[in-house]
Amino acid sequence: MRVGVIGGGQLARMMIPPAVALGIELRVLAEETGMSASLAATAVGDYRDSAAVLRFAREVDVVTFDHEHVPQEVLLALVAEGVAVRPGPHALAVAQDKIVMRERLSALGVPVPSWGVVRKRSELAAFLMRHGGRAVVKTPRGGYDGKGVRVVRDEADVDDWFATPAAQGTGPGLLVEELVPFRRELAQSVARRPSGEVRAWPLVETVQRDGVCAEVAAPATGATEGLGEAARELAVGIAEGLDVTGVLAVELFETGEGRLLVNELAMRPHNTGHWSIDGAVTSQFEQHLRAVLDLPLGDTSALAPAAAMVNVLGGPASGSMLDRYPEALGAHPEAKVHFYAKASRPGRKVGHVTALGADAASALARARAAAAYFEA
Ligand code: ADP
């Protein structure tokens, strides 16, 4: 069994250990040499080049992804050649464009923040007027880690984006949403295989800083059974409604009244599921491989009452995380440290630390203390 992963980042890298364990051959189409996933058999090629991707795809049984950026033309060319692409182009189209995502989720009856599309100041001004003078504007494509997301209070706040081709003429425009006064952010991951089996991990709580995931607590603290059930139903409904195969991560806002609104979808393993490597019977990376190969899915139960994951953002100011191992691993033998073999750079996700515990507070304290050894 051979799985081809397009994209050579840390998500592809973290698929390697479960592939080794299961004896699945993993091949990676990386953007360049020396990327995070280059421990696996790696070809270097441009994921926007149909011919290059097709050459890569012919050598594997199924193609999956480390990111959402493979153009639709390339995906459709693969399907036309009989390649198994999971998730498929029609599902991925929804994760590739935030306006399409809002349209499809609304059509499925999924609760989302109130939203619209704007192309000029007067349209943004009208939306601001209807929403208490505050809103969030997002570029529909290519955003990640909060890039392409801006809180606005004035119609002139996104003039630079209105000047881009996306907002001109027949361009898609910009997504505008109400600024949701959420109580906290949650994430629900599920995996679905082509033959229909679906499994969900526990609902988790995520803390974002400057639009970047900083910490995750699994399970979400104080979540009632009702809330967990509602999140699961939402995510399973989306996976089925959009025909997603592989892992689907659903980022959620919990409002003060305990309502759930869907913010974002990712159709691949996701940062909010990294805790599952050390904290669940089956990690999201193993599950993704099982799902895209249409194999029976693994148990998603947690291994401890609580798990906490803390991202290492930026990394040490000089050297790499590896240089801090003697002190960090010595001081925190209970912590599970993950380094993505990436150079330190301010704000960059270079690794994460997971700790288990009897409760969220103790797991979080341990994970934070260990992760602190790797900060600048
Ligand atoms: P990205 O694709 O860059 O991850 P998101 O759409 O997930 O962007 O937004 C990043 C973060 O910005 C969210 O996790 C949340 O903290 C904040 N955010 C996004 N949309 C809204 C909104 N409508 N109301 C309030 N906060 C928001």
Q: Do 9 and 56 sit in the same domain of this protein?
A: yes
User: Does residue 142 register a pLDDT over 80?
Assistant: no
pLDDT at 166: 84
Pocket test for ligand 1, best of 112, 153, 264, 272 (most atoms within 8 A of CB): 264
Q: Do 143 and 194 sit in the same domain of this protein?
A: no
| Rounded Cα distance, 47 and 77, in Å | 12
pLDDT at 376: 75
pLDDT at 221: 95
* Rounded mean pLDDT, 306-324: 95
92 located within any domain: no
**Could you tell me the CATH number of the domain that includes residue 150?**
3.30.1490.20
Q: Do 173 and 193 sit in the same domain of this protein?
A: no
Q: Do 78 and 227 sit in the same domain of this protein?
A: no
**Per the structure, how many domains does the chain have?**
3
* pLDDT tens readout for residues 252-278: 999 999 899 999 999 999 999 999 999
Q: Do 172 and 191 sit in the same domain of this protein?
A: no
**For residue 108, what pLDDT band results from cuts at 50, 70 and 90?**
very high
**For residue 168, what pLDDT band results from cuts at 50, 70 and 90?**
confident
pLDDT at 308: 98
User: Does residue 171 register a pLDDT over 90?
Assistant: no
**Could you tell me the CATH number of the domain that includes residue 55?**
3.40.50.20
Q: Do 343 and 259 sit in the same domain of this protein?
A: yes
pLDDT at 167: 85
Q: Looking at ligand 1, which atom is closest to the CA of residue 148?
A: 3
User: Does residue 151 register a pLDDT over 80?
Assistant: yes
* Rounded mean pLDDT, 68-82: 97
Residue nearest to atom 5 of ligand 1 (CA): 146
Q: Is 144 in the pocket of ligand 1 (CB under 6 A)?
A: yes
Q: Do 277 and 211 sit in the same domain of this protein?
A: yes
* Rounded mean pLDDT, 348-363: 97
* pLDDT tens readout for residues 11-70: 999 999 999 999 999 999 999 999 999 999 999 999 999 999 999 999 999 999 999 999
* Rounded mean pLDDT, 226-243: 98
Residue nearest to atom 13 of ligand 1 (CA): 211
- 355 lies in which domain range? 182-374
313 located within any domain: yes
